[in-house]
Amino acid sequence: MIRIKDLEQSFIGAFGAMGGIILFMIFISLYTIIIAGSGYYILKKYNKKDEKGEETPLLKELSNYQYIGIILILFGTAPFLHHLFSSVFFGFGLQAGEQIYENIME
């Protein structure tokens, strides 16, 4: 009977940990949607118009509010930037390793 109680406690702990991880990822996603989304909205809303009344390309002739929008987008995507850096460095490391291997084997 004691073993079943231990097994039950283990499952409760595992499901609690997974629930915490899922809840944390939901909060990160909401943070990203709200902050980066508001930054994109500001970036689009305050886009300048040229002489013909047409909108200029987004990142050309930026206004002060658009700089704030870009900063909000960067803050909103900050939780996911480590994936970008790790993939870039992994690619560079892989290329460097291949070059070293080829140089040694010649």
Average pLDDT of every residue of the chain = 87
pTM of structure: 0.69
pLDDT digits (tens, 9 = 90+) for 30-73: 999 999 999 999 999 988 887 787 788 888 888 889 999 999 99
Can you give the three-state secondary structure of the chain, one letter per residue? CHHHHHHHHHHHHHHHHHHHHHHHHHHHHHHHHHHHHHHHHHHHHCCCECCCCCECCCCCCCCHHHHHHHHHHHHHHHHHHHHHHHHHHHHHHHHHHHHHHHHHHC
pLDDT digits (tens, 9 = 90+) for 76-99: 999 888 888 888 888 888 888 888
- pLDDT bin (cut points 50, 70, 90) of residue 1 is low
Residue type present at position 15: F
